[in-house]
Amino acid sequence: MITSNTFKDYVLLDAGDKEKLESWKGIVLRRPDPMALWPKTKPELWNDPDALYIRSNKGGGHWEFNRKLPESWNVNYKQLTFKVSPTGFKHTGLFPEQSANWDFIYENIKNRTDAKILNLFAYTGAATMVASAAGALEVVHLDASKGINEWAKENMKLSHLEKNTIRFIVDDALKFINREIRRGRKYDGIIMDPPSYGRGPDNELFKFEEKINPLISGCLQLLSEDPLFFIINTYTTGYSSTVMYNTLNRYIQDNKLGGKVIADEIGIEIRDSAYVLPCGQSTRWSR
């Protein structure tokens, strides 16, 4: 399993009974997590979180607050700063397990000042900011949501990266890829975090099982002559790391790119415990 311990402002305090208990720079949140099937290890910690997310029987849910919290607050990953805020969909604007990929991205870019990076389904832009801070010449950040892109711009300002070249684009990922192919654009690194299901900016329907193959095929056409990496993060139930390894590796072999593909679960270590909470899969190709 791929894990990281470099995100010091986030701690997974415990997980179990389909929930997780987290500290975000000292603010404790209790949220549902269907992967945590086992019993809680430290039940004494769970009684008084700062906020807890309550699921509705009709879908969705809401936050209940045991004490007044700011609408948002900031957390730090190394030299970067990101905004965190409890949303109505139980998310906070940041996926802490991805810090393992942030480490990988930074290490692979830091010696390539000419690198151009494409971040698809880029959400609030943590990977975008990591790539830019590592020294990328240009980062293209694409998400279908205008509001989420505005959040990403806030993270850019919080991390003092306004003077770097970061392009924020609201678009459908596959349409954008096909246009970039026609334009002859190339990227040295591509990061992709496709959802299981979603809608594009013009209400385009996205289903993972229908779009993943054309997405991979298109992305490989955008890689430069001397590429650094291609990362695919997946959370879709039923598609294991083996499935993703087979899928990406087939395209890599067909395109004779060489290098190495690895695929594994990605997770978060639970503090003072031998357990790890799985959080989807990460599939990486690198030279």
CATH number of domain containing 241 = 3.40.50.150
Max distance between CA atoms of the chain, in angstroms, equals 58
Q: Cα(87)–Cα(123) distance, rounded to whole angstroms? A: 14
Q: Cα(247)–Cα(31) distance, rounded to whole angstroms? A: 32
For the chain, the domain total comes to 2
Judgement on whether residues 115 and 150 belong to the same structural domain of the protein: yes
Q: Cα(40)–Cα(207) distance, rounded to whole angstroms? A: 34
Low-confidence ranges of the chain (pLDDT < 50): none
Task: Please check whether residue 2 lies inside any domain of the structure.
Answer: no
Task: Please check whether residue 87 lies inside any domain of the structure.
Answer: no
The pLDDT of residue 58 is 77
Full residue range of the structural domain in which residue 210 is found: 77-82+92-286
Task: Please check whether residue 16 lies inside any domain of the structure.
Answer: yes
Judgement on whether residues 131 and 244 belong to the same structural domain of the protein: yes
Judgement on whether residues 146 and 192 belong to the same structural domain of the protein: yes
Judgement on whether residues 150 and 274 belong to the same structural domain of the protein: yes
User: CA dist 236 to 78, 94, 130, 212, Å?
Assistant: 29, 18, 25, 11
Task: Please check whether residue 14 lies inside any domain of the structure.
Answer: yes
Judgement on whether residues 119 and 175 belong to the same structural domain of the protein: yes
Task: Please check whether residue 3 lies inside any domain of the structure.
Answer: no
The pLDDT of residue 196 is 87
pLDDT digits (tens, 9 = 90+) for 219-270: 999 999 999 999 999 998 889 999 999 999 999 999 999 999 999 999 999 9
Task: Please check whether residue 96 lies inside any domain of the structure.
Answer: yes
Task: Please check whether residue 4 lies inside any domain of the structure.
Answer: no
The pLDDT of residue 257 is 95
The dihedrals phi and psi of 198, each to the nearest 5 degrees, come to: -175, -175
Q: Is 90 exposed, middle or buried (0-12, 13-18, 19+ CB in 10 A)?
A: middle
The pLDDT of residue 153 is 98
Judgement on whether residues 54 and 157 belong to the same structural domain of the protein: no
